[in-house]
Amino acid sequence: MKDRYYAGFMQDMPPWMQNFRHIRRPLFAFLVDFVALVYTWTIVSFIYNTYAHGVASYTTLPWWLMLIVAVEAAALWENFGISPGMKLLGIRVATADAKPPRRVLARVVRFLVWHVSGLPLVGYILTKKGLAWHDLASGLRIVSHEEMETRRLPWYRQSWSVAVAVMLVSTIIAAFLVTKVDWYALVTNAGKTVNIWKAFFSPDWSLLGIGFRLLLVTIFMAFMATVFGVVVAVPLSFLAARNLTQGVVGRTVYITVRTVMSVTRSIEPIIWAIIFVVWVRVGAFPGVMALLVHSIADLTKLYSERLESIDPGPVEAIRATGGTKLQVILYGIIPQIINPYLSFTLYRWDINVRMATIIGLVGGGGIGQRLMQYTRVWQWSAASMMMILIMLVVWVMDYSSSRLRARLM
């Protein structure tokens, strides 16, 4: 039913809109190649400038010239080989009969005409059957890897795999330079931490009672954030599931909820804790709020992805018998998601217990706040006592939640 509706919808669209859907894979492949080339150039420039000139600069040419060269290089790569973007999307350039072209002239023509039709996308939209001007002029077309029988070559003889290897090696080298890894200092300066390690292995047991009380505060912080997060995330997950949001209004709501949750989730809980400490006061409440905001965003994503993977059979069966939307949700959807939802909730509570100790470092309350106070004044024996309690509760929560999740899945 859905496929017939989509086919009818596409037939009612203007020809240029029907052709526009053919550019999605080539366009995305080109964007991947362009980003890969710019990234590789930037990283290699940084490595060269650091070693050759002692300056941590990411450019060797003006940025506008680098972008132009990257565009041309991506176009050449896609016309005369298989680029990382084409490999990722499973496409390649071939003749109309799906056999490799015998002449380089056809690829040269396609590359030249591409500057008129490919980059501004006009050639894809105004021609028929989804063939761009550069495809029509050269006699070539974009096909999938499955449509062509190609000989499997070693990775070092394929341009896309060599490019990935170069990117990986360059990234590792640049990471060493950026982070200033110093193995010599790590080995020779180890003796400076002896006093700290001694204090860690001689905890102040007199703080055991207050540590337990602060630990309970931390656990309840995580519990409150998880409970209220579930209350908000469950209804939001239905609005963030692609298969349950149809039409213009539904799709708008879906995009809005997904975007807001993605932005919220990208901000670390410790940043939210700082915001709420300034907003209200120092203590457990801003810690709960920080965990709550992040829990809502994270649980909404997990719940909605589970909704998108439900079996549509029971849902369609209830609809076919005349069931209402509420009955579809109660009898077709909820039975499929209740166990995964419980598993995700336990997993999030486990995360919140760990994060509650971290946000305490910025005044979010609980045992983490007391741990920070002890470390600031170098009371390592007292800090060791707090750390032992934190490790104990994290281990218990990890073990218990993993066993519960295993029974629910």
- pLDDT, residue 126, reads 56
Average pLDDT over residues 287-307: 90
- pLDDT, residue 19, reads 58
Phi and psi for 53 in degrees, rounded to 5? Answer: -120, -5
Calculate the alpha carbon distances from 176 to 36, 276, 366 in Å: 20, 36, 37
Nearest to 139 by CA among 81, 94, 91: 94
**What are the tokens at 314?**
């029971």
- pLDDT, residue 128, reads 58
Average pLDDT over residues 272-288: 84
Which domains can be identified in the chain, with CATH numbers?
2-161 (no CATH), 203-408 (1.10.3720.10)
Task: Return the H-helix or E-strand segment holding 218.
Answer: helix 208-239
- Residues pairing with 98 in the sheet: none
Is it the case that residue 7 has pLDDT exceeding 50? no
Average pLDDT over residues 193-206: 84
Q: For residue 39, what pLDDT band results from cuts at 50, 70 and 90?
A: very high
- Report the Cα 136 to chain-centroid distance in Å: 38
- pLDDT, residue 101, reads 52
Is it the case that residue 296 has pLDDT exceeding 90? yes
Is it the case that residue 172 has pLDDT exceeding 80? yes
Q: CB 308: neighbour CB atoms within 10 A?
A: 13
Q: For residue 4, what pLDDT band results from cuts at 50, 70 and 90?
A: very low
- pLDDT tens for 215-269 read 888 888 888 999 999 999 999 988 888 887 877 888 888 889 999 999 998 888 8
Cα-Cα-Cα-Cα dihedral sign, residues 35, 40, 45, 46: positive
- pLDDT, residue 329, reads 79
Q: For residue 5, what pLDDT band results from cuts at 50, 70 and 90?
A: very low
The contacts of residue 175 (CB under 8 Å, 6+ apart) are none
In this prediction the pTM is 0.63
Average pLDDT over residues 56-79: 89
Phi and psi for 140 in degrees, rounded to 5? Answer: -105, 170
Average pLDDT over residues 265-291: 85
Query: What angle (nearest 5°) sits at the alpha carbon of residue 263, between those of residues 261 and 265?
Result: 65
Q: For residue 2, what pLDDT band results from cuts at 50, 70 and 90?
A: very low
Average pLDDT over residues 90-110: 73
**What are the tokens at 199?**
């204090």
Collapse the DSSP code of 177 into the 3-class scheme (helix H, G, I; strand E, B; otherwise coil) and give the result: helix
Is it the case that residue 41 has pLDDT exceeding 70? yes
Phi and psi for 189 in degrees, rounded to 5? Answer: -100, 10
- pLDDT, residue 110, reads 86
